[in-house]
Structure 1
Amino acid sequence: MTASTRPDDDSYSLKRSDSPCVAVCSTLYDEVCRGCGRTTMEVANWVFLSDDEKHAIWQRIKAQGYPRNRG
């Protein structure tokens, strides 16, 4: 997907490879980080995911209200 064909949504405001990590890491109760909303597998494999996979994750976590800021 080229820059001219990208949809106008917030998940493209950052580089598509940017991590949603907000340094509020906690997976105490399940496999989802309370800070960024990614699963433990998504966090562990982030650097290996394609841009399209990262974009799909960004879309899902933003729809769920992540990433969450400190405080």
Structure 2
Amino acid sequence: MSETKERPDTPCVAVCSTTFDEICRGCGRTVTEVADWVFMNAEQKEVVWQRILSQGYPRRNS
């Protein structure tokens, strides 16, 4: 069994906004991470997942 937890295909929550900085206010990914997501392997995605979850993302409108 894999050590990584089962995750959705993407952290996107359809609350896309980078108005104030380079971090999406919905999913917590950087603009570059969003653009590169489909090219990342599972390990790269897990690194992003770990960071955004530790920062309280993904978030819906709040």
Question: Structure 2-normalised TM-score?
Answer: 0.90
Q: For residues 1-71 of structure 1, what are the structure 2 equivalents within 5 Å?
A: 4-7=1-4, 12-15=5-8, 18-71=9-62
Cα distance, 1:5 vs. partner?
4.4
Percent identical among aligned pairs is 55
**Residues 6 and 30 (structure 1), Cα distance of their counterparts in 2 relative to 1, 3 Å cut:** same
Pairwise CA RMSD = 1.3
- Residues of 2 paired with 1:29 and 1:5: CA distance? 37
Cα distance, 1:14 vs. partner?
1.9
SS in 2 for 1:44: helix
The unaligned stretches of length 5 or more in structure 2 are none
The unaligned stretches of length 5 or more in structure 1 are none
Cα distance, 1:61 vs. partner?
0.0
- Residues of 1 paired with 2:13 and 2:36: CA distance? 17
- Residues of 1 paired with 2:28 and 2:60: CA distance? 11
Q: Which amino acid aligns with 2:29?
A: R
**Residues 5 and 21 (structure 1), Cα distance of their counterparts in 2 relative to 1, 3 Å cut:** closer
